[in-house]
Amino acid sequence: MIARLLGAALVLLPVAAWAHGDHGGAKALGETSLVTVQGYQVELLSRPSPLALGQESELVAKIFKNSPLRPISGGRVLVGLAPVGTPPELNAATETTWAGNYVVALTPARTGMHQIRVVMEELDGRIFAPPLVVDFQVGIGRAPGMGVAVWTLLALVTGIALVSVYAATLKARIKRPAALNLLEIPWLRQVLTSPAFAPALQIPVLLLTAAVVLIGLVDVQDGAVNLATKLTWILWWPGIVFSFVLVGRLWCVMCPFGALNEWTARATGTQRMFPKALRHLWLATFAFVLLTWADEQLGVIRSPRMTAWLILFLGVASVLTGLFFARRTFCRYLCPITGLQGLYSMIAPVELRVDERARCRKECDQDCYRGNEKGAGCPMFEFPMTMDRNTYCNLCFECVKACPPHNLALRIRALGRDLWTSGRRVLDEAYLAVILVGLTFLVTAQMLTAWSGWVSGLARWLPGWVRAGLRPVTYLGLVESAVLLGGALVVVPLVVLAGAALAQHLVGVHRLGLRRTFVIFGYVLIPVGLAMHLAHNLGHLLLEGGGIIPAVQRAVALYTPFSLGEPDWQILPLAAEPVVELIQAIFVVGFFVLSLVAGRRLSIKVYPDPRVASRAMIPLVALSLIFTAIGVILLNQPMGMRHGM
């Protein structure tokens, strides 16, 4: 009797093991890896997984009978791999030791969406004419690990860091003549000071935003085809981040929420100021962190309906703020991205400033701030005579209209100049700059194909009673939230604080105080966080941006009497991956250099002795180098997309 039981166990063991997911080291591929056809189940797996460019993998077609459940041996199976739309070249599969496993070794030659075709000519002694055919769609990404290009890039930024420490001892600065005042160009001044300037930007954007809300609420709830998510997160979000670098806060002029806030405040005539205790960026920083967390945990950018409700919420908040408080209070203190765009706008190569400050002292009646019959005055509560940075100037040109002596100048200047020339540096802005580094790095890490494995590994450290009492999706979400919020809000600031403490130690009696040193470090790290932000979003824009075209075609056909042609959902990237990687590398290296330039000039400014300034720069350069190196490594790992392609 025992012998019979052992024999039965030996016969059933392979089937039972297979049914419980033992695939001999292979992992499932694609969103749909198991397909049933004419009573047979076909599962697609690979060793290693996922498939990657230039990496040889074994494609495994696992075939078994539905009822009773058993693997099919001795079949004749062909497997082929090719880009979507191209017929695959079929290869005869070899059955391996594991019953029902038919294996073909293939090496993907390009990235992007591919089709894997499994052709079954004979199964279980039964010949099929025509053969059974099953197609699977899978994505081919970059191979894991770092290649020669990544190591070269890391060596380059390390060399730049070492040179910058030496260069910090040089005090000579090249004096440049005053730049051209662009407002002296008659036609440009006429355009920028026209009463139609702001409405001509605001009204079309407001109408487009209303259309996005409508489509997000009523159209199909699929972020891959719905125009609301495509326009908002693939075009608008990367677009405005780039606009901050190029033209500062010009987006604020056309922003629908800013327009609603300002129009409401003007309509009510309220002059009430926001409470003095709340005039900082802490509320806006909290809103931005909350929005980032909601995106990562709730999938806002993949949900058309949640995207629409988010837009509606911000619209209502801006109107309610305008009912009670003057001017653009919402934009200055409450908007979730006001701090981010203010800090990044310090990099922009344009500035609106007082031309001659002495002339202001003689002739100014503060019309540029208060307004007069020609202009409304600054909606962002900035006084142009004392303004020395772009952080809260939205380039609405109301001050230019209202200034009687025409004493304002719009100039092109050095990239990032505000970082070292501005006299105002505060803790709330510096802390935001630091956590932006952490958030951009961690959000990028969450796009990696290996991220879920890391989170699962961390979750194993939770007590057993926690995992037993919660569903896996709940405790995995808690672990992921803890990594995101703890890493960005606590760990990264503590690392920067440690760097500031080391700088304090290195300068000895010339120390500035830990708080002030941390604040200086925060501003110097703005370019590092910005580089990652630009590189990350550039990848989404160029690799996924092509999906906007069929989404627009579909929306126009559905909601208008017009047609822009039949949508083609076989989407190709707007630029090849090597081109995207090159541009990303330029951003990372370029802004790393800018961070070092800002650090050198700030050090010389606060430490008059060049030798002391050089010592203070050592931990700052080390931090900038470490964060940049982490960014380079992250950007060169296999990464997923925001939306389905």
DSSP readout, 198-212? HHHHHHHHHHHHHHH
| pLDDT computed for residue 26 by the predictor | 60
Give 337 or 30, the one with higher predicted confidence. Answer: 337
| pLDDT computed for residue 20 by the predictor | 37
pLDDT > 90? residue 214:
yes
Sheet holding 126-140, edge to edge: 89-92, 76-83, 112-123, 126-140
Quickly list DSSP for 513-552: -HHHHHHHHHHHTHHHHHHHHHHHHHHHHHHHGGGHHHHH
Positive or negative, the CA dihedral 255, 259, 261, 262 is positive
pLDDT band at 206 (very low <50, low <70, confident <90, very high): very high
Q: What is the mean pLDDT of residues 480-504?
A: 95
State the Cα–Cα distance between residues 500 and 340, nearest whole angstrom. Answer: 22
Q: What is the mean pLDDT of residues 152-157?
A: 69
Distances (CA, A) of 574 to 110, 199, 507: 16, 32, 50
pLDDT band at 645 (very low <50, low <70, confident <90, very high): very low
Contact (CB, 8 A) for 337 and 318:
no
| pLDDT computed for residue 50 by the predictor | 80
| pLDDT computed for residue 203 by the predictor | 96
Q: What is the mean pLDDT of residues 197-220?
A: 95
| pLDDT computed for residue 446 by the predictor | 87
Q: What is the mean pLDDT of residues 317-337?
A: 96
Task: Report helix, strand or coil for 392.
Answer: coil
Q: What is the mean pLDDT of residues 410-422?
A: 93
pLDDT > 60? residue 244:
yes
Domains and CATH numbers, the chain: 14-140 (2.60.40.2480), 148-174+426-561+568-635 (no CATH), 182-345+350-412 (no CATH)
Tokens 């822009």, residue located: 564
Distances (CA, A) of 168 to 101, 119, 243, 386: 63, 66, 31, 29
Contact (CB, 8 A) for 482 and 462:
no
Q: What is the mean pLDDT of residues 584-600?
A: 92
Specify which residues 371 forms β-bridges with.
none
Q: What is the mean pLDDT of residues 158-181?
A: 60
pLDDT > 50? residue 368:
yes
| pLDDT computed for residue 18 by the predictor | 40
pLDDT band at 438 (very low <50, low <70, confident <90, very high): very high
Give 48 or 305, the one with higher predicted confidence. Answer: 305
| pLDDT computed for residue 12 by the predictor | 39
pLDDT digits (tens, 9 = 90+) for 519-578: 999 999 999 999 999 998 888 888 888 889 899 999 999 999 998 888 887 777 787 778
Q: Which pTM was predicted?
A: 0.78
Q: What is the mean pLDDT of residues 396-408?
A: 92
Return mean pLDDT, the chain. Answer: 86
Nearest to 343 by CA among 243, 248, 440: 248
| pLDDT computed for residue 171 by the predictor | 44
Task: Report helix, strand or coil for 148.
Answer: helix
Task: Kindly report which listed range (25-39, 271-285, 294-308, 367-381) carries the lowest average pLDDT score.
Answer: 25-39
Of 234-238, 278-282, 509-513, the range with the highest mean pLDDT is 278-282
